[in-house]
């Protein structure tokens, strides 16, 4: 590849990815990331939560873990080496792959591509490169408009934190992207243009709560 050419990697059909991601966020399944030889997640200075239910807990030395702040006893976090790599990574292979933590199984960097943001700063450079390379396909105009709505929601969250209740909105890239995927229906509604920024922020919070209690969630795709 010419150094002037941007790398492009197929991310798959957007609507299929979105359905799987929303199911994953509800704890009902997961996505299947075509990672290839990328090891971005394993080299990017992430603290990895180890839940008591994770088989990984029996395969990771307690010396590599600290208690997870704000979590009940038994929840720990695994840190990373000085170069940002996970202690379980050797020769670019996960040494506990069959037992890797749920967080590693759930991680899908395409959520940042969906939200139109990087995964983080310089310590996430490998992931950011991948995020910028992903290209979704769109089977319908609706799928493309849905992607635009997610990007618009993420941009709003990043630039209008003060409008959210108590002036609090997610600031981490993961928090912004997850909230956008939960609440993008707000920016699909043609009436959104008539809302004040405060009303948009409140609508995002309401939509996110509805997502977390699916029986109350309005049919997002009926908003077209």
> Between 89 and 223, whose beta carbon lies closer to ligand SF4?
89
Q: How far is the CB of 171 from ligand SF4 (least distance, A)?
A: 21
Nearer Cβ to ligand SF4, position 105 or 158? Answer: 105
Whichever of 128 and 183 has its CB closer to ligand SF4, that residue is 128
- On whether the CB atoms of residues 108 and 33 are closer than 8 A, the answer is yes
What is the closest distance, in whole angstroms, from the C-beta atom of residue 98 to ligand SF4 in the complex?
10
Residue 139 class from Cβ within 10 Å (0-12 exposed, 13-18 middle, 19+ buried)?
exposed
* Helix H or strand E segment including 13: strand 9-13
CB of 33 to ligand SF4, least distance (A): 5
Bridge pairing between strands 65-67 and 76-78 = antiparallel
CB nearer to ligand SF4: pick between 126 and 152? 126
Place of tokens 């493309």: 144
Residue nearest to ligand SF4 (CB): 40
Q: CB of 69: closest distance to ligand SF4 in angstroms?
A: 19
In the complex with ligand SF4, the residue whose CB is nearer, 48 or 177, is: 48
DSSP state of 73: T
How many Å apart are CA 87 and CA 221, to the nearest integer? 43
The token duo for 197 is 């920024």
Binding site for ligand SF4 (CB under 6 A): 33, 35, 38-42, 48, 86, 88-89, 94, 96, 100-101, 104, 107-109, 127, 130
Distance CA 104, CA 47 (A): 11
Structure tokens that stand for 85 in this block: 């790599």
| Distance of closest approach, residue 60 Cβ to ligand SF4, in angstroms | 8
């Amino acid at each position: 590849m010419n150094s002037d050419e941007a790398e492009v990697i197929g991310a798959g059909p957007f609507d299929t990815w979105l359905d799987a991601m929303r199911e994953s966020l509800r704890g009902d399944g997961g996505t299947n990331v075509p990672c290839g030889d990328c090891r971005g997640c394993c080299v990017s200075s992430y603290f990895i939560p180890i839940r008591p239910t994770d088989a990984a807990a029996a395969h990771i030395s307690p010396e590599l873990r600290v208690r997870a702040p704000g979590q009940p006893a038994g929840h720990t976090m695994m840190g990373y080496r000085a170069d940002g790599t996970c202690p379980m990574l050797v020769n670019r292979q996960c040494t506990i792959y069959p037992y890797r933590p749920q967080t590693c199984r759930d991680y899908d960097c395409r959520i940042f591509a969906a939200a139109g943001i990087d995964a983080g700063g310089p310590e996430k450079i490998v992931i950011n490169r991948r995020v910028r390379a992903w290209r979704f396909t769109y089977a319908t105009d609706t799928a493309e408009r849905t992607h635009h709505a997610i990007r618009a929601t993420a941009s709003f969250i990043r630039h209008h934190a003060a409008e959210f209740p108590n002036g609090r909105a997610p600031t981490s890239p993961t928090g912004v992207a997850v909230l956008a995927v939960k609440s993008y229906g707000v920016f699909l509604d043609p009436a959104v243009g008539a809302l004040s920024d405060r009303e948009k922020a409140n609508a995002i919070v309401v939509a996110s709560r509805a997502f977390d209690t699916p029986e109350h969630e309005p049919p997002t795709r009926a908003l077209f």
